[in-house]
Amino acid sequence: MTLHPILAALRKHKAGVVLISLQIALTLAIVCNAIFIIQKRIDMVHRPTGLNEDNLFLVTQQWVGAPDGDDPAGLEKLDSMQQADLATLRNLPDVASVSPIRSLPLLRSGSVGGIGMKPLQQKSTVDANFFFGDEHMLSTLGLKLVAGRDFTAADVQHKGFRDESGPVLTIITKPIADKLFPRGDAVGKVIYFDSGSTPTTIVGVVARLQSPIDSGDSGLAWNSVMFPIRQDANFARYVLRAKPGRLVQAMNAVTPALYAANPMRVLDDRSVRSFADIRARAYRADVGMAILMSVICLILLAVTAAGIVGLTSFWVGQRRRQIGVRRALGARKVDILHYFQLENLLIAGIGAVIGILLAVGLNLWLITRFEMDRMPVIYVAVGVLAVLALGQAAVFVPARRASNVPPVVATHAA
């Protein structure tokens, strides 16, 4: 079949052709950018934190009438209260291990500081998230040690919450080790925290540990350090690993056990949270936006398909007589079907070409305006195939109706 008759016919319907191809172009531009954004969101949400997240949960509680920990006696009192809690939790039948902790990945609160290579270095070489816990921290969190050793009980100190004196030992994540010691010999080296003068020795390197506060992908996201320090304050956090399959039972046992050990404390319904809950909460806005945008894309595709069905139906109705003439002159049903399919392919093709330009333009604009990334070509390619397929699917019903026009229509009076 030659294109010539199709082109000649299209020239008679300029407005309709322009409208459909414009619609397809806009649909393509919007949908492939939206899917790109959605895909980035999904990738982000599925990044591992570095923790073994199953069976992990967090307890946050506040003591009432506790000393403020700014004087040594108060500090010792706070620490003994914390130790008592740790012992209580460790004795629970469904709990596998426990560590005090200040924060967890995705928790949205935590402390950050700078690391320097020299004492009293004013401008930090790299910034990092600080994690504080005891010798059970690594094993409870399920972190993967790639070099050096874990903390031991002898390493663990305890300090006031606001005691800013430099730590003695640290375990760092691989991204920091790679940045500070590119030759891979970080273990045993000395670094300095927060422009301080206390040397801190690196005893180990873990593969991965995500930031508590930065759920994005900035420099801070994977830069974490751990200290063998139990921090004492009027509130405490504990991270617990339940025995396999006993998460719910372990979580339910915590509040009564802690109250039984010491009733002067505050635990509310959000004090005991599974890590799955922390993760879901941290990414809820991202997942929600992805769903919202997917729904909009689906509506968009449906509307465009509906538009194609509507206009093609109109054209079929308008051309009934011409179709009849063609049929009477010997065209088969399949020829008529192909005619409309080819016509749609042509229009959708024009739309797709404009749409590619619009899609790239929109992406470039989003990059400047919203710090978006450059969209890989594959999204546009898939988008083009999708709109062409959508066009073919939408045109099928009216095209088949056209192919069913009987030749006798040719003889009807106009």
Partner 1 sequence: MFGYYLELALRSLKRSPGLTVLMVLAIGFGVAASMTTYAVFRGVSGDPIPWKSSRLFVPRIDMWGPSDSGHVGEPPDALDYTDAMALMRDHRAKLQSAIYLIAPSVIPSGAGRSPIPVDGYAVYGEFFPMLDVPFLYGSGWSADDDAHQAAVAVIGDKLNQQVFGGGNSVGKTIDIEGKDYRVIGVLADWNPQPIFYDVLDTGGYGGGDGPGVFVPFQRAVAVNMSNSGVNLCRVEPTESGFVGLQHSNCIWIAYMAELDGAGAVQSYRQYLDDYAREQRTAGRFSWSPNNRLFDVPAYLEHEHVVPSDTKVSLLVALGLLIVCLVNTVGLLLAKFLRRSGEIGVRRALGASRRAIYAQFLTEAGMIGAGGGVLGLLLTGLGVLGVGVVLPARLAHLARIDPSLLMLTVLVAVVATLLAGIYPTFRASRVQPAWQLKTN
Of 12, 118, 149, 162, the residue at the interface with partner 1 (CB under 8 A) is 162
The neighbour count for residue 82, using CB atoms within 10 Å, is 21
Of 43, 164, 217, 373, the residue at the interface with partner 1 (CB under 8 A) is 164
CB 10 within 8 A of CB 347: yes
Report the Cα 59 to chain-centroid distance in Å. Answer: 25
Of 292, 367, 381, 385, the residue at the interface with partner 1 (CB under 8 A) is 292
CB 104 within 8 A of CB 58: yes
Q: Which range in 135-143, 155-163, 180-188, 388-396 contacts partner 1 by CB under 8 A?
A: 155-163
Give the β-pairing of 157-160 and 229-232.
Answer: parallel
Among residues 131 and 150, whose Cβ is nearest to partner 1? Answer: 131
DSSP string for 220-265:
TTT-EEEE-EEEE-SEEEEEEEEPTT-HHHHHHHHHHHHHHH--SE
Of residues 259 through 278, those in contact with partner 1 by CB under 8 A are 266, 268
- Helix pair angle (14-45, 333-370), 10° resolution: 50
CB 95 within 8 A of CB 257: no
Binding letters toward partner 1, positions 210-249, x by CB under 8 A: ----------------------------------------
In one-letter notation, the amino acid at residue 338 is: H
CA-closest candidate to residue 377, choices 21, 32, 27: 32
Of 295, 364, 367, 377, the residue at the interface with partner 1 (CB under 8 A) is 295
Residues touching partner 1: how many (CB under 8 A)? 66
* 180 binding partner 1? (CB under 8 A): no
* 34 binding partner 1? (CB under 8 A): yes
* 348 binding partner 1? (CB under 8 A): no
* 310 binding partner 1? (CB under 8 A): yes
* 293 binding partner 1? (CB under 8 A): yes
* 414 binding partner 1? (CB under 8 A): yes
Of 42, 84, 291, 334, the residue at the interface with partner 1 (CB under 8 A) is 291
Of residues 38 through 67, those in contact with partner 1 by CB under 8 A are 62, 64-65
Question: In this structure, what DSSP letter does residue 170 have?
Answer: E
CA-closest candidate to residue 115, choices 199, 59, 184: 199
Interatomic CA distance for residues 202 and 210, integer angstroms: 19
Among residues 23 and 82, whose Cβ is nearest to partner 1? Answer: 23
Among residues 96 and 267, whose Cβ is nearest to partner 1? Answer: 267
Interatomic CA distance for residues 34 and 160, integer angstroms: 48
- Helix pair angle (377-403, 333-370), 10° resolution: 150
Rule CB under 8 A: which residues touch partner 1?
A: 15-16, 19-20, 22-23, 26-27, 29-30, 33-34, 37, 62, 64-65, 68-70, 113-114, 122-124, 127, 160, 162-164, 194-196, 266, 268, 281, 284-289, 291-293, 295-297, 299-300, 302-304, 306-307, 309-311, 313-315, 317-318, 366, 370-371, 414
